[in-house]
């Protein structure tokens, strides 16, 4: 291209590509733009059919084809693609800058110059309205989620039993281990106690099998709920920061990356859609958002939903100064937002000022 010559359109660049390794990026997360602007080198971390992960000093960057949802640490290219057929291997050198990502060993060049920007931050909303919508929709949401888990039995290998349970059958191993830890986390969120929440989060990191273990997925869902309903005096996603510091020694590099972004209030496109369905203005989106979420991965979608449901309930309880609900069974059966009163404990009336974070609460 001659200096000063106008840049061709994205369509023209795609049509004139002369080799399989010349790709056009169509979408880039705002969260990785600064790293690309500074210029970085790295290596190929891992290769799958739909995505390839690059390891840089700033963390993982994921390249996905058009079927991959937007990721906080990712970019999307035209396709269809099968990265496993393109000669990519872990350890190959990668060169990154604001215009290109190059992998010389397999002659791959990805042009970033015309890619659209995408923000991984949840859209701004009115948290009071979001809480009110959740209280109205929550019972129906639980029924829909339980039905979706029932239709996908494999999701029970993670935390699915906590969503669809008869209250009598024993929980499967991962759910059984996670339940008391999740209850401690929900109580800490309800009490707006960042130290207790951080400790509970650390106990969940790396819990369960897979590229993104069940405990990690639930934490990310919890962080999304806290971000969506954040209000003065409540916790936000930063409770995850302490857990993120120890995550590299306890979970996978891929999961650590998702947790790091969640702690910064940055989430994948699927969670954007789910939170919009559960707390946004259009209730017609609820069913499709739940079905898409549960269908994601082997157990990741259901595990993330556990964290989302718990987080939404805990945030409503925090604002109303109401007791937190139990995890087991309550995720499927409770009427969220209608806080349950512990035996002998008086419930604070809705609208009454909640106790300041860190201040001792007095039992009635």
Residue 190, phi-psi category: left (phi > 0), alpha (psi -120 to 50), beta (remainder): alpha
Q: Are 204 and 220 in contact (CB under 8 A)?
A: no
Which DSSP symbol is given to 207? Answer: -
pLDDT number for residue 331 = 58
Task: Give the pLDDT score at 348.
Answer: 37
What pLDDT does 325 receive? 59
Looking at residue 328, its pLDDT comes to 53
Q: Where are the domains of the chain?
A: 11-118, 127-333
At 344 the pLDDT is 34
Q: How many CB atoms lie within 10 A of CB 17?
A: 15
Quote the pTM value. 0.84
| 205's tokens | 């990191």
pLDDT at position 261 is 97
pLDDT mean for each 10 residues of the chain (364 residues): 35 44 94 90 96 95 95 92 94 95 96 96 92 93 91 88 76 93 95 95 94 97 95 91 92 96 96 94 89 90 95 91 61 44 35 39 33
pLDDT at residue number 145: 92
Ranges of H-type helices in 191-240: 194-204, 214-229
- In sequence order, what are the beta bridge partners of 42? 56, 94
């Amino acid at each position: 291209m001659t200096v000063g010559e106008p840049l061709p359109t994205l369509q023209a660049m795609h049509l004139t590509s002369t080799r399989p390794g010349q790709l056009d990026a169509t979408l880039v997360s705002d969260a990785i733009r600064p790293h690309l602007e500074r210029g970085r080198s790295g290596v190929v971390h891992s290769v799958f059919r739909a995505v390839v992960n690059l390891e840089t000093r700033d963390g993982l960057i994921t390249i996905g084809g058009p079927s991959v949802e937007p990721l906080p640490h990712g970019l999307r290219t035209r396709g269809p693609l099968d990265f496993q057929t393109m000669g990519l291997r872990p350890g190959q050198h990668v060169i990154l800058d604001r215009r290109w990502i190059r992998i010389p060993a397999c002659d791959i060049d990805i042009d970033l110059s015309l890619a659209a920007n995408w923000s991984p931050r949840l859209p701004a909303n009115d948290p009071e309205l979001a809480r009110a919508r959740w209280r109205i929709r929550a019972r129906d949401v639980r029924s829909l989620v339980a039905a979706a888990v029932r239709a996908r039995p494999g999701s029970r290998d993670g935390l699915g039993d906590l969503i669809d349970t008869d209250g009598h059958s024993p929980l499967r191993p991962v759910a059984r281990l996670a339940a008391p830890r999740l209850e401690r986390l929900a109580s800490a969120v309800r009490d707006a106690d960042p130290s207790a929440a951080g400790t509970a989060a650390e106990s969940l990191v790396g819990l369960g099998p897979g590229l993104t273990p069940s405990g990690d997925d639930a934490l990310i869902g919890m962080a999304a709920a806290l971000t969506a309903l954040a209000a003065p005096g409540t916790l936000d996603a930063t409770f995850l920061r302490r857990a993120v510091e120890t995550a590299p020694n306890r979970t996978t590099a891929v999961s650590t990356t998702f947790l790091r972004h969640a702690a910064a209030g940055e989430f994948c496109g699927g969670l954007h859609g789910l939170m919009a369905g559960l707390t946004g203005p259009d209730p017609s989106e609820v069913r499709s958002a739940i079905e898409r979420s549960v269908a994601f991965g082997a157990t990741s979608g259901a595990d993330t939903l556990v964290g989302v449901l718990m987080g939404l309930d805990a945030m409503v309880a925090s604002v109303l100064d109401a007791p937190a609900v139990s995890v087991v069974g309550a995720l499927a059966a409770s009427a969220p937002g209608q806080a349950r009163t512990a035996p002998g404990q008086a419930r604070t009336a809705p609208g009454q000022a909640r106790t300041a974070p860190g201040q001792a609460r007095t039992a009635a």
